[in-house]
Structure 1
Amino acid sequence: MKHFILFFVLLFTVTLSSQEIYKFTTVTDLETTPVLSQGITGTCWSFSSTSFLESEIIRLTGKNIDLSEMYQVRNTYPLKAENFIMRQGKAQFGEGGLAHDVINSIKKNGLVPEIAFNGLSEGETKYNHAEMVAVLEAMLKTYIDNPGRNLSPKWRAAIEGVLDVYIGKNITNFTFEGKQYTPESFLKMTKIVPTDYINITSFTHAPFYSKFILNIPDNWSNGSFYNVPLNELISTIDNALQNGFTVELDCDVSERAFSSKDGVAVVPENAENTLKALHSIYPEKDITQQYRQQEFENYNTTDDHLMHITGLLHDQNGTKYYKVKNSWGSDESRVANGGYVYFSEAYMRLKTISITVHKDALPKDTAKKLSL
């Protein structure tokens, strides 16, 4: 009888402990710039990548610089339009993109500070690209339909004109902190070297330790990714954060267990606990390489959002979480943790599409296997 009672006491204790409210302890918290809002736009790829580069500038120079997100957006849209036209409409065109689109843009167009190019019209305070995108899509459809049976090269100037009106005309020089710069000289001042940044993913449909083009909708520019086993993807994130490097993240946030309002993202073992797990600790699934691949191939894991990993935390049970900076603002009535979401390791293992890091952030063994 005593053993029977002891069993239920232990069972009750385990049940209570599995429902403890989250208590997080910071382990690593790397310096970054304030949380911003991308507004009514699909430009998370630029906001997150720009935040990542701002942290890189802090790491490289000690300077805290607010970079322009919209400068890279402005210079990327013409390339997306060109790709769409040349492929006769059989390509992705929309607001989405990936981190390497920003890296590619700064290679070609340099960097500028927010104060020099904010992408807002006079009197505007929030970003809203809904009308602009609708106009661009209508124009591109017309060009593809080619009603005049002789597509004029004027379409490029027309696209540029729309972008000039809605985002702003490109700039060639500006003043920052009392000095004159071009976008190219400003990039040099920040010590950002675009070729130092690499994209890494983890899927079994391509060989490990090789590069391949990841076929996801927003990879319209056919960027290449290094492919590593899942454990090495996670160890790369950990190694980066532990050595002062932040990490750019492409991930899936469509799950009900992702909540910016509650500030957590988890993978409950029992689906019945999904909503409860946003507030209290419940057991999570063991995420294997095979299960990750399965969820990717059945479209349960998609590339729908880019964010910025800036730190590590533990809950009261010692479970590891990642501090992930979002771009949905910091209004406390709408988001928790000042605009950050704490990803459990299980969520990171399952829902990460890819990461972008400085090549020096790689663990030595992984860098050697990738010949970097």
Structure 2
Amino acid sequence: MKKTLLYFGVLLSNLWGTAQENYQFTDLINIDSTPVISQGNTGTCWSFSTSSFIESEIIRLTGEYVNISEMYNVRNTYPVKASNYVYRQGKAQFSEGGLAHDVLNSIRDYGLVPAEVYSGLLGGKTKHNHSEMASILSSMLDTYIKNPGKTLDPKWKEAFNSILDVYLGENITEFYYHNKKYTPQQFAEAYSIQPEDYINITSFSHEPFYGEFILNIPDNFSNGSYFNLPIEELVHTIDHALKEGFTIGIDCDVSEKTFSSKNGIAVVPEKESNNLEALHSIYPEKEITQEYRQQEFENYNTTDDHLMHITGKVEDQKGNNYYKVKNSWGSDEKTTKYGGYVYFSDAYIRLKTISITLHKDGVPRNILKKLNQHKTVEN
């Protein structure tokens, strides 16, 4: 009996000694941002995340808090997608998805509007749901491409836009905000948003580093161009920007079991057997090299899933740093943690980042020089 008790005592002691502490985080950098909201049942994370990024830019540049209309960007991007899809005879991407530069392109061509004047919610609705609209739009375009009438009606774009009007609302050309009249272009200018001031950066070894290339992922329907940095310099760019008060838009893979909005954590455990436990406690993580990152991209383990918004950094109780990433899945405590933010480990950022978008002034000067941005540096 004494031996049995001794055995269990040793066992319990060993279990206690190997027990892992739950995460405890302390803020290191926390840059101003607007509240977390939900994209609802839509595939428009690209607009929600980049609009959030633009909102933080407006705070940084003007000190004002503005709730930007995500759906205005969506409304003006859909016709561009549609034309690309039809002209390429259906051999292109047409979906709800997009990328950060699609919002910047929309701002360049159509300006910005506040959410209070264009919500994209009609008929008393309070939550976004685009499933029906997206299905109708896809079916309409596929019918045009099959061309049963043997001639594409010149009013096809007008018909397409009428669907957007029904589901999102007619486009807006002028409005009042704080008792002042604006066009969307005037509003963007008034709040200091110049799309040409922003830069897209990625990190893949199938293209030359420090050059620029069209990132070959499905949602890049608009053929956006990205500067290519080694992953060490991409991470350095993120760290530098945050230190200098710039937030960053991020396109990343969130399909991993070790990404959890509910637990507010995204990590890359060294041992897969620790995947579940690592959502709650600190475990050693994999060392992420450029080669491993490229391998995971080429075998489709790293894919373009979701766009989010990096607004700061936190530290766990052992001194490990994480990136504070704002999501667009709401802030319900039943489905999210940390108010709707997810804390990305350094390893997760290195492995699962597809690209980042930020103001060119947030990029280290020596890296801008490598990217042949000499005029930017001189300014």
TM-score band by shorter chain is over 0.9
Query: Deviations 1:174-202 (Å, cap 9, x if unpaired)?
Result: 00001011101101110011000000000
Question: Are positions 1:97 and 2:95 aligned together?
Answer: no
Superposition deviation, residue 154 in structure 1: 1.2
CA distance in 2, matches of 1:295, 1:340: 25
Which of 16, 30, 45 is the matching residue for 2:18?
16
Superposition deviation, residue 20 in structure 1: 1.9
Superposition deviation, residue 368 in structure 1: 1.1
Task: Return the letter of the residue paired with 2:236.
Answer: S
Question: Which residue of the partner structure matches residue 253 of structure 2?
Answer: 252
CA distance in 1, matches of 2:143, 2:285: 50
Aligned partner of residue 328 in structure 2, secondary structure: coil
Question: Which residue of the partner structure matches residue 184 of structure 1?
Answer: 185
Paired positions, count: 362
CA distance in 1, matches of 2:15, 2:291: 33
Task: Return the letter of the residue paired with 1:150.
Answer: T
Question: Are positions 1:322 and 2:323 aligned together?
Answer: yes
CA distance in 2, matches of 1:146, 1:238: 51
Question: Which residue of the partner structure matches residue 300 of structure 1?
Answer: 301
Question: Which residue of the partner structure matches residue 347 of structure 2?
Answer: 346
CA distance in 1, matches of 2:31, 2:120: 28
CA distance in 2, matches of 1:37, 1:115: 16
Task: Return the letter of the residue paired with 1:110.
Answer: G
Question: Which residue of the partner structure matches residue 148 of structure 1?
Answer: 149
Query: Deviations 1:35-65 (Å, cap 9, x if unpaired)?
Result: 0100000000000000000000000000000
Question: Which residue of the partner structure matches residue 207 of structure 2?
Answer: 206
Q: Residues 12 and 235 from structure 1, CA distance in 2 versus in 1: closer, same or farther, beyond 3 angstroms?
A: farther
Query: Deviations 1:50-109 (Å, cap 9, x if unpaired)?
Result: 000000000000000001000000000000000000000000000000000000000000
Question: Which residue of the partner structure matches residue 272 of structure 1?
Answer: 273
Q: Residues 12 and 318 from structure 1, CA distance in 2 versus in 1: closer, same or farther, beyond 3 angstroms?
A: farther
CA distance in 1, matches of 2:75, 2:169: 8
Task: Return the letter of the residue paired with 1:38.
Answer: Q
Query: Deviations 1:86-141 (Å, cap 9, x if unpaired)?
Result: 00000000000000000000000000000110001021000000000010011011
CA distance in 2, matches of 1:328, 1:12: 40
Superposition deviation, residue 21 in structure 1: 1.1
Query: Deviations 1:190-246 (Å, cap 9, x if unpaired)?
Result: 001100000000000000000001100000100000000000000000001000000
CA distance in 2, matches of 1:315, 1:228: 28
Task: Return the letter of the residue paired with 1:267.
Answer: V
CA distance in 2, matches of 1:139, 1:15: 63
Aligned partner of residue 103 in structure 2, secondary structure: helix
Superposition deviation, residue 317 in structure 1: 1.3
Question: TM-score, with normalisation over the residues of structure 1?
Answer: 0.96
Query: Deviations 1:9-29 (Å, cap 9, x if unpaired)?
Result: xx9699637x22111111000
Question: Which residue of the partner structure matches residue 281 of structure 1?
Answer: 282
Question: Which residue of the partner structure matches residue 361 of structure 1?
Answer: 362
Aligned partner of residue 52 in structure 1, secondary structure: helix
CA distance in 1, matches of 2:249, 2:69: 17
Question: Are positions 1:110 and 2:122 aligned together?
Answer: no
CA distance in 1, matches of 2:53, 2:149: 45
Question: Which residue of the partner structure matches residue 3 of structure 2?
Answer: none
Aligned partner of residue 310 in structure 2, secondary structure: strand
Question: Which residue of the partner structure matches residue 124 of structure 1?
Answer: 125
Question: Which residue of the partner structure matches residue 162 of structure 2?
Answer: 161
Deviates more, 1:338-347 or 1:310-319: 310-319
CA distance in 1, matches of 2:154, 2:37: 38
| Uncovered stretches (5+) of structure 1, i.e. residues with no partner | 1-7
Percent identical across equivalent pairs? 64
Task: Return the letter of the residue paired with 1:209.
Answer: Y
Question: Are positions 1:336 and 2:334 aligned together?
Answer: no
Aligned partner of residue 217 in structure 1, secondary structure: coil
Task: Return the letter of the residue paired with 1:89.
Answer: G
Question: Which residue of the partner structure matches residue 43 of structure 1?
Answer: 44
CA distance in 1, matches of 2:195, 2:274: 43
CA distance in 1, matches of 2:366, 2:115: 38
Query: Deviations 1:292-344 (Å, cap 9, x if unpaired)?
Result: 00000000000010000000011111111000000000011110000000000
Task: Return the letter of the residue paired with 1:294.
Answer: Q
Query: Deviations 1:326-366 (Å, cap 9, x if unpaired)?
Result: 00000111100000000000000000000001000011211
Task: Return the letter of the residue paired with 1:351.
Answer: K
Q: Residues 217 and 22 from structure 1, CA distance in 2 versus in 1: closer, same or farther, beyond 3 angstroms?
A: same
Aligned partner of residue 218 in structure 1, secondary structure: coil
What root-mean-square deviation, in Å, do the aligned CA atoms of Structure 1 and Structure 2 show?
Answer: 1.4
CA distance in 2, matches of 1:200, 1:93: 24
Question: Which residue of the partner structure matches residue 4 of structure 1?
Answer: none
Q: Residues 15 and 81 from structure 1, CA distance in 2 versus in 1: closer, same or farther, beyond 3 angstroms?
A: farther
